[in-house]
């Protein structure tokens, strides 16, 4: 049976998209939950995030409570992760410090993701002079090594957690823009987008209703992958003294403080470093699983 035609001979939008059974959200979720790397990533994140969220519950003392008489105590039942040079509980500082590292990483992907996605959508759909200018600016940012760009921005703005977030978010913008621009170009050529244009839909409506949903899988994968990288860079800036300032705990800053006493108090470095590593590996495993499910043709590239 022939499909009815709209004015101008355009097919209705409903016939432009055919949902395959394998593409149903429930099917994708069940397949995702069967992946070992996804489950391993979730377990690692739970081990890290649950104590961080329950900081006041799992720690009986605050992260800044000092007791010089208890300096450099090794891990024990009374002090699960030992104490530092000021007698502060490493356990308390790790669980409270995770709030700054993880929170700053989330802020980075939100800020960088929104800005980069907006630029990529506009450049990929409009193309022409506007797209050319946007993508050349993106290429200029990509020409600088990410960590050097972050260090330069932080050095200009000054050392603080907010400035560290801004610096790492600026590094994330061109990465999102490049991925989204490629996806937007691909989606813009699909039949249902051409049908929307034929029906008189404006650029804003098409970008929001059609281009963005088509680019969303790539955005999700990029966010999960970059979240771990952002945590590493936030910790790196903290390690260099350009992020969180003492006495506020943060995993990178804690590793920096503990390196001077590594030979006599290994726990001051190992435990915050282990929590950081577990978070990064957990996020990376989840990102790999999402990439395999949302972009199977790009797996392994």
pLDDT in tens, 119-178: 999 999 888 899 999 999 999 988 888 888 888 888 888 899 999 999 999 999 999 999
69-83 in b/e form (b: 16+ CB < 10 A) is: ebeebebeeebbbbb
pLDDT tens for residues 13-43?
Answer: 433 443 344 455 566 667 777 788 899 999 9
Distance from C-alpha of 174 to C-alpha of 134, rounded to nearest angstrom: 10
Please give the residue range of the domain that contains residue 260.
Answer: 35-49+82-298
* Peptide linkage before 247 cis (omega within 30 of 0): yes
Task: Give the tokens for residue 291.
Answer: 């990439």
Q: For 245-281, what is each residue's pLDDT tens digit? A: 888 999 999 999 999 888 899 999 999 999 999 999 9
3 phi and psi, to 5 degrees?
-80, 140
Task: Report yes or no on 202 lying in a domain.
Answer: yes
Cβ neighbours around 180 below 10 Å, total: 27
pLDDT of residue 292: 79
29 found inside a domain: no
- Check residues 231 and 21 and name the one with the higher pLDDT: 231
CA–CA distance, 123 with 133 (Å, rounded to integer): 8
CB 227 within 8 A of CB 212: no
The answer to whether position 2 is within a domain reads: no
- CA 82 to mean position of chain CA atoms: 31
Residues near 41 by beta carbon (within 8 Å), at least 6 away in sequence:
281, 282, 283, 284, 285, 286, 287, 289
- Say which DSSP state 11 is in: P
Rounded distance between C-alpha atoms, residue 219 and residue 224, angstroms: 9
**CATH number where 122 lies:** 1.10.3720.10
What is the C-alpha separation between 17 and 144, in angstroms, rounded?
41
In this structure, are residues 180 and 122 in contact, taking their beta carbons and an 8 Å threshold? no
CA pair distance 92, 79, nearest whole angstrom: 9
Angle at 245 between CA 244 and CA 250, to 5 degrees: 45
Scan for tokens 């500082």, then name that residue: 93
Looking at the predicted structure, is the pLDDT value of residue 74 above 80? yes
Residue 83 bridge partners (DSSP): 89
**Any domain includes 70:** no
108 occurs within a structural domain: yes
The per-residue DSSP string of 72-129 comes to TPPS-SSSTT-B-TT--BHHHHHHHHHHHHHHHHHHHHHHHHHHHHHHHHHHHHH-HH
Tally of domains in the chain: 1
Residue 7 lies in a domain: no
Q: Are 91 and 79 in contact (CB under 8 A)?
A: yes
C-alpha separations of 174 from 124, 135, 238 in Å:
13, 9, 23
pTM metric for this prediction: 0.83
Domain membership flag for residue 155: yes
Would you say residue 17 lies in a domain? no
Does position 107 have pLDDT exceeding 60, yes or no? yes
Cα separation, 240 vs 167, in Å, equals: 14
Contacting residues for 95 by C-beta, under 8 A, at least 6 apart: 51, 52, 54, 55, 58, 59
The answer to whether 98 and 52 are in contact (CB under 8 A) is: yes
pLDDT(91) > 50:
yes
């Amino acid at each position: 049976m022939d499909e009815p035609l709209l004015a101008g001979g355009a097919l209705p939008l409903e016939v432009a998209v055919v949902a395959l059974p394998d593409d149903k959200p429930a099917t994708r979720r069940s397949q995702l939950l069967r992946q070992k790397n996804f489950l391993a990533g979730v377990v690692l994140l739970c081990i890290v995030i649950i104590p961080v969220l329950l900081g006041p519950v799992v720690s009986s003392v605050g992260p800044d409570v000092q007791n010089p008489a208890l300096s450099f105590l090794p891990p024990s039942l009374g002090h699960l992760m030992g104490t530092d040079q000021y007698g502060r509980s490493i356990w308390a500082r790790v669980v409270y410090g995770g709030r700054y590292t993880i929170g700053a990483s989330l802020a980075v992907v939100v800020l960088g993701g929104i800005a980069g996605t907006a630029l990529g959508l506009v450049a990929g759909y409009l193309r022409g002079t506007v797209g050319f200018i946007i993508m050349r600016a993106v290429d200029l940012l990509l020409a600088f090594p990410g960590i050097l760009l972050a260090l330069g921005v932080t050095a200009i703005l000054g050392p603080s957690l907010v400035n560290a977030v801004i610096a790492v978010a600026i590094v994330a913008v061109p990465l999102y823009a490049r991925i989204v621009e490629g996806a937007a170009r691909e989606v813009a050529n699909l039949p249902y987008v051409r049908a929307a244009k034929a029906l008189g839909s404006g650029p804003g409506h098409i970008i929001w209703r059609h281009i963005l949903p088509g680019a969303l899988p790539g955005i999700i994968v990029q966010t999960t992958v970059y979240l771990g990288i952002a945590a590493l860079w936030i910790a790196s800036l903290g390690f260099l003294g350009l992020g969180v300032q003492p006495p506020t705990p943060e995993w990178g800053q804690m590793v920096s403080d503990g390196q001077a006493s590594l030979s006599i108090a290994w726990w001051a470095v190992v435990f915050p470093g282990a929590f950081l590593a577990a978070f990064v590996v957990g996020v990376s495993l989840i990102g790999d699983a999402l990439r395999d499910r949302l972009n199977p043709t790009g797996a392994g590239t």
